[in-house]
Amino acid sequence: MSKIRLGILGGGEDSLIGILHRVAANMFDQFEIVGGVFDIAHAKSLKFGEKLQLDSTRVYKDLDELIEKESQLPEDQKIQAVSVLTPNFLHFPMAKRLLENGFHVICEKPLTTTYEEAKILNEIQQKKDTIFAVTYTYTGYPMIRQMKTMIANGEIGKIQKVDIQYYQGWINPLIHDKEKRAATWRLDPEKSGISCCIGDIGTHAYNMAEYVTGMKVDKILADLNYLYEDNPMDIDGTVLLRFQENIKGVLRASQIATGEENNFTVQIYGDNGGLKWEQENPNYLYLLKEGMALQVLKPGHEYNSEFSLEGTKLPPGHPEGIFDSMGNIYYGVAMAIKDKTKHKGAYPKLDDGLRGMNFIEKTVDSHKKGNIWINIEE
């Protein structure tokens, strides 16, 4: 089959997330980037489109023009899927318009700025029956997929403890200066929504907890840190988790963990063993068993699951990283569009983004009501 024609919103010249998505889209030769809106300034967008060697007539002024012009093209030429790489507050209006006009969507997280917006997208997507992915990027790592498979196969027994940590330190140099914290868009509720730390990285941790365990969180209790009274957004927090059958966990997220870069650690303990994974060393999955030496599992070996091996592109001993992880998600989306999906969890779906938005709002609610237990499900 021919490549899926992809459009991109945002992710222009200076965007880190833009290059991540472009490399990922090209990784398995399943997508072809054919156009988009890369910058709010059309001249900059055109210049960037030229750099990507795109047809300038398909580098549009805005989303409305993209939808109008692409909809006029024959079915075998028009854009089929669109990646939304814009700031948080634009996710909902853009994704909504795309869904309403029949495009498949790949959207950065958080899905929207409110749970109500996320529910609207979910309703539209179900009616349109299109593919919608939310890029919880870390679910694409081969050894995370190995962890998921091992847990599902009962290799560590019944889960009895979930511990997820996501520590960064990038806000620390900004938060102590009143002018700097007021000028940071992630600390602006108008652009980020009601949460900074939990909305940005805590939602990754929450999604990961449910992804690898296969369980849903039932209740949460949150204690957030804002540090300064004039700062409306959380920058640090701890959330207690309760799953089904009295299984408990803890989620720790911080953007003021001084000196930390991207310390995302996943630890799952069963009654017959434990599994550990660290995003900064993603090729190592640690298996712990009572009375046995620590085992280190690595990608590319035959002992790994088919799901893990499908996302492994290099022979053992060759490091794979964040680009590969995102590439695996794009591959999962491509297989879904082509109706060839083989593995559950091949890409994070809109429902995952919906649960993420619900988690963000319930976390803030739990904190503001005095750090109380709140049901995730309504």
> What phi and psi, each to the nearest 5 degrees, are found at residue 22?
-65, -45
Strand order through the sheet with 132-134: 31-37, 4-10, 81-85, 104-107, 132-134
Contact 278, 264 (CB under 8 A): yes
Residue with tokens 């318009």: 97
Half-sphere exposure of 205 (CA within 13 A, CB side): 34
pLDDT in tens, 168-185: 999 999 999 999 998 888
The Cα 256–Cα 288 span in angstroms is: 31
The Cα 96–Cα 268 span in angstroms is: 36
Beta-strand runs (E) in 196-262? 219-225, 236-242, 248-254
List the chain pLDDT tens, one digit each, 378 residues: 699 999 999 999 888 899 999 999 999 999 999 999 999 999 999 999 999 999 999 999 999 999 999 999 999 999 999 999 998 899 999 999 999 999 999 999 999 999 999 999 999 999 999 999 999 999 999 999 999 999 999 999 999 999 999 999 999 999 999 999 988 888 998 888 899 999 999 999 999 999 999 999 999 999 999 999 999 999 999 999 999 878 999 999 999 999 999 999 999 999 999 999 999 999 999 999 999 999 999 999 999 999 999 999 989 998 889 999 999 999 999 999 999 999 999 999 999 999 999 999 999 999 999 999 999 975
Report which secondary-structure segment, H or E, holds 81. strand 81-85
The pLDDT, as a whole number, for residue 1 is 60
92 token code pair: 């909902």
The pLDDT, as a whole number, for residue 16 is 86
Residue with tokens 């868009």: 185
Residue with tokens 């652009």: 191
